[in-house]
Amino acid sequence: MADLADDIVVAPDVRLKTECAPIEEITPEIRALAERMAADMYATDGCGIAAPQVGELVQLVVIDCDYIDDNNRNPYYLVNPEILVADGEEHELAEGCLSFPGITVRVSRPSHVVVQARNLDGDLMRYEARDNLMAVCLQHEIDHLHGVTMIDHLSPAQRMIAMRELAQAKAAGARPGETD
Ligand SMILES: [Zn+2]
């Protein structure tokens, strides 16, 4: 069986620093990409994944923060997502990322977001999240579409430490989905 973790783009990689193009039309290729991303996300126990993490530089995100087991999948597909509101008290949480195997970093983000996006049927949807994993995940994944990763929220000194830890974790054989 092919290892789906091999599909994940791992930092450092220029594709993780690139602004992604909006999706003009939801074609069969876009649907196939969404399926592939969801398969990779579930295989690596992630709660979210963005298209550049599988090397496709388009504005597509898959999120499933409710994922408990294979019988309880409830993925959200966000096409061209846009953060309309990001406010509330800043909360700090240890975040992991499929593109940064073996490490977590503490990132501070607004606790409340409202996001607008199309679903795979082209319907305009609105998502609101407050004080939960979904609020963090939405911001983390949408960041990816604009070439921003979790370590970009750190100070330069912290970022250097995180990149050193990442190099060590990769050398020790850490795979996407492993956070420590
Ligand atoms: Zn990520």
pLDDT tens-digit series, residues 76-108: 999 999 999 999 999 999 999 999 999 999 999
The percent of residues in the chain predicted with pLDDT above 90, rounded, is 88
Ligand 1 centre distance from Cα of residue 84 (Å): 20
Domain 4-171 CATH assignment equals 3.90.45.10: yes
**pLDDT for 117:** 98
- Residue 77's nearest CA partner among 122, 135, 27 is 122
Q: What is the dihedral of CA 78, 79, 84, 87, to 10 degrees?
A: 30
For residue 141, the CA-to-ligand 1 centroid distance in Å is 6
CA of 130 to the centre of ligand 1 (A): 19
The pocket of ion ligand 1, defined by CB under 5 A, consists of: 97
pLDDT at 168 over 70: yes
Cβ proximity of 100 and 168 under 8 Å: no
> Where do the domains of the chain lie?
4-171
Q: How far apart are CA 166 and CA 168, in angstroms?
A: 5
The confidence score (pLDDT) of residue 1 equals 39
- The pTM (predicted TM-score) of the whole model is 0.95
For residue 68, what pLDDT band results from cuts at 50, 70 and 90? low
Supply the DSSP string of 32-45, one letter for each residue.
Answer: HHHHHHHHHHHHTT
- Going by pLDDT thresholds of 50, 70 and 90, the confidence category of residue 49 is very high
Q: What is the mean pLDDT of residues 127-156?
A: 97
**Hey, which residues are catalytic here?**
141
Q: Ligand 1 centroid vs 38 CA: distance in angstroms? A: 14
Instruction: Look at 18-27, 45-54, 68-77, 103-112 and tell me which has the smallest mean pLDDT.
Output: 68-77
